[in-house]
A and B are shown apart, each in its own frame.
Chain A
Amino acid sequence: MLSIKKLHAEVEGKEILKGLDLEINAGEVHAIMGPNGSGKSTLGNVLAGRESYEVTEGEVLLDGRDLLELSPEDRAREGVFLAFQYPVEIPGVSNINFLKTAINEIREYKGLPPVEARDFLNMVKEKQKLVEFEAKLANRSLNEGFSGGEKKRNEIFQLAMLQPKLAILDETDSGLDIDALRIVARGVNQLRSKDNAFIVITHYQRLLEYIVPDFVHVLYNGRIVRSGTKELALELEEKGYDWIKETAGAENAI
């Protein structure tokens, strides 16, 4: 589904991704771990098309289509979803109105008519249960005055509503207490299917106890330095990121 080859990207002239390769198939969950500053969030932003991130080299294909050529909105319409680490507040814009606009824009792109009001409301009812999102939250202004946990749950609620092909969760666990973490993870697990894929970006192994990945990649200094299965996350937890730094340093020296 997603094929990343030799991806180089910079922010404000500083190279952050330095030749990243990653292949993801439909139905898979890939965890990206790594120390602060290794380029984890940059990867998410680059895939979603944030403007301040400049791709200098490499290729990203989504089902064979060159993703890097597309605007952020077209990437979203093609099925790329980024659950933000820091969801922004947009005062006065109702969550529901925003979601309806988003769904209809995506449908229009696919040549579909606007969603029927009743279908939409049924979908809202169904999906908000998934993340124990109260009706009143859905009707409030987008993220305005939401607690950290509510904002993250709102991201997963949106994910459920938009049903993307590829979902990137950017440190969705940060700032969540254990209960909120469970809710978020359960929502994600219920959304997993053979047709979609997830990239779970996280600093800690904890989230991966709840969202069990098929693969774990360790990002260090802009490159994937180690890949494995979920056991790699445990090993990393045990030995700490210094272990990666040392071994990666040794490899670089060779």
Chain B
Amino acid sequence: MSTKDNELLKELTLEEYKYGFTTDIEMDIAPIGLTEDTVRMISAKKNEPEWLLEWRLKALRHFLQMDMPTWQNFDHPAVSFQDISYYAAPKAKPKLNSLDEVDPELLSTFAKLGIPLDEQKVLAGVVAVDAVFDSVSVKTTFREKLKEQGVIFCSFGEAVQEHPELVKQYLGSVVPQTDNIYAALNSAVFSDGSFVYIPKGVRCPMELSTYFRINAENTGQFERTLIIADEGAYVSYLEGCTAPMRDENQLHAAVVELIALKDAEIKYSTVQNWYPGDKDGKGGIYNFVTKRGICKGDNSKISWTQVETGSAITWKYPGVILKGDNSVGEFYSVALTRNRQVADTGTKMIHLGKNTKSKIISKGISAGHSHNSYRGLVKIAAGAENSRNFTQCDSLLIGDRCGAHTFPYIENRNKSAKLEHEATTSKIGEDQLFYLTQRGIDPEKAVGLIVNGYAKEVLNQLPMEFAVEAQKLLAISLEGSVG
């Protein structure tokens, strides 16, 4: 690599994280540590029914017996589960009915992040937002309007109170408490999150979105999202996340479960921009998340799209269980890592039903000293006649000190299945950069253009407003990363 490239690479590491501010607000924070009492305390704070407390306690018992996994492609950091607090909530009135009751400090936090909580200020009302601050949901917009169509969009805590039958039926049905150690932890201590139910035949009239913000120190965020699309329903759901810059690592262990019944479709998009840590890898969020959907009914479809630019370590495999015949699972991913970031991400497509189809498009971008792995499983069960999978994994390297790795696993038990796998690795070439700079384009912008071009296939899957944000985010994340 030439000296100029090296200089520019160095500059990259100096790039600041834009969302790193903290909010000063009075908080209700649980004492540090994890015992049955912690779980009981959280459950009591949320006024939960007995069955849910039992469910949590069962998860905790599992958690305490589980060992850390060892198969991942990075050094698993020692997370001392007894040194963090499992509940942090802004002190406020118990129930918020209007925006006036939301702490102005919180409103300004979300305003700073560009998340509108004031319905009147949202253009034409195209996106409804659930804003989650540390452990609790602060405000869900457009609930009334959605209610007219029978759509339920509220915080998880409210769903437990108001729609316990739905929660009881579906909670843990896609990601069991015992699925993995972080799912078990989440099941024991989850505090809030979003809940969505789209009734039969309803096409949700607006994008639903949750915005997660970690603020408090030494806390973990354990949210739980449950989305149910009843027969013939459609919903597009977006999530975004940021966190302050802190020297300590913070744990984010969420669980997302999606259930698509017959002829239903769920589109789930994520733009993940948790604080990635500084240039030496100090601080940053551990983003250990379990996301899974089930195409339960025939002809249903679940599509995951993710743009991952933040977190010190990202470890997640949003997957789809294709149970219904003719069901479709899709996974579109852009993961960008720089400095000392690590991403080990991919998907699991489990084909059970006949004529099921899955498509995986993964685009990894590595810069600095980062490591970016695609890990995916495509499993075709014996009964999954005529199933198909297409997988494409591309890696783009910026500089010569980063790594890209691909771990595709295929388990096929049906002869009629068709599987295709394509993989490429490329480097942003000096040729491409020179070509663009020779036309007067700033080298950083040039890298942004190249990367956005490379990721276009995935970005095109995002809803319009998000696609623009994601493009900017990729370009900003790469500022100074010319190499």
Is the pairing of A and B real?
yes
CA distance A91 to B396 in the complex (A): 12
Residue in B2, B436, B445 whose Cβ sees the most chain A Cβ within 10 Å: B436
CA distance A97 to B456 in the complex (A): 13
Chain A nearest CB, measured from B433 CB (Å): 9
Chain B nearest CB, measured from A238 CB (Å): 35
A50 on the B face (CB < 8 A): yes
A106 on the B face (CB < 8 A): yes
Stretch in B84-92, B121-129, B256-264, B447-455 with 4+ CB within 8 Å of A:
B447-455
B239 on the A face (CB < 8 A): no
Chain B nearest CB, measured from A138 CB (Å): 15
Interface string of A71-100 (1 = CB under 8 A from B): 111011100011010011011110001110
A139 on the B face (CB < 8 A): no
Residue in B434, B439, B452 whose Cβ sees the most chain A Cβ within 10 Å: B439
Inter-chain contact total with CB atoms closer than 8 Å = 79
Chain A nearest CB, measured from B107 CB (Å): 34
Q: Establish whether residues A93 and B452, one from each chain, have CB atoms under 8 Å apart when the complex forms.
A: yes
Q: Establish whether residues B439 and A76, one from each chain, have CB atoms under 8 Å apart when the complex forms.
A: yes
Q: Establish whether residues A141 and B453, one from each chain, have CB atoms under 8 Å apart when the complex forms.
A: yes
B431 on the A face (CB < 8 A): yes
Q: Establish whether residues A98 and B436, one from each chain, have CB atoms under 8 Å apart when the complex forms.
A: yes
Interface residues of A, count at CB 8 A:
33
Partner of A98, one of B430, B431, B439, B443: B439
How many B residues touch the partner, as a band?
Answer: 20 to 34
Chain B interface SS verdict (over half): helix
Interface string of A144-186 (1 = CB under 8 A from B): 0000000000000010001000000000000000000000000
A48 on the B face (CB < 8 A): yes
Chain A nearest CB, measured from B422 CB (Å): 14
CA distance A46 to B454 in the complex (A): 29
8 A Cβ contacts from B442-471 to A: 442-443, 445, 449-450, 452-457
Given A77-B440, A88-B429, A101-B441: A72 touches B434 (CB 8 Å cut-off)? yes
With A51-B430, A81-B439, A105-B442 given, name 17 new contacts (CB 8 A): A48-B438, A51-B4, A72-B437, A76-B438, A88-B429, A88-B435, A90-B432, A90-B436, A91-B453, A92-B452, A92-B457, A97-B449, A101-B445, A101-B449, A102-B440, A102-B441, A103-B440
**A-side interface residues toward B, CB under 8 Å?**
48-52, 71-73, 75-77, 81-82, 84, 87-88, 90-93, 97-99, 101-103, 105-106, 109, 141-142, 158, 162
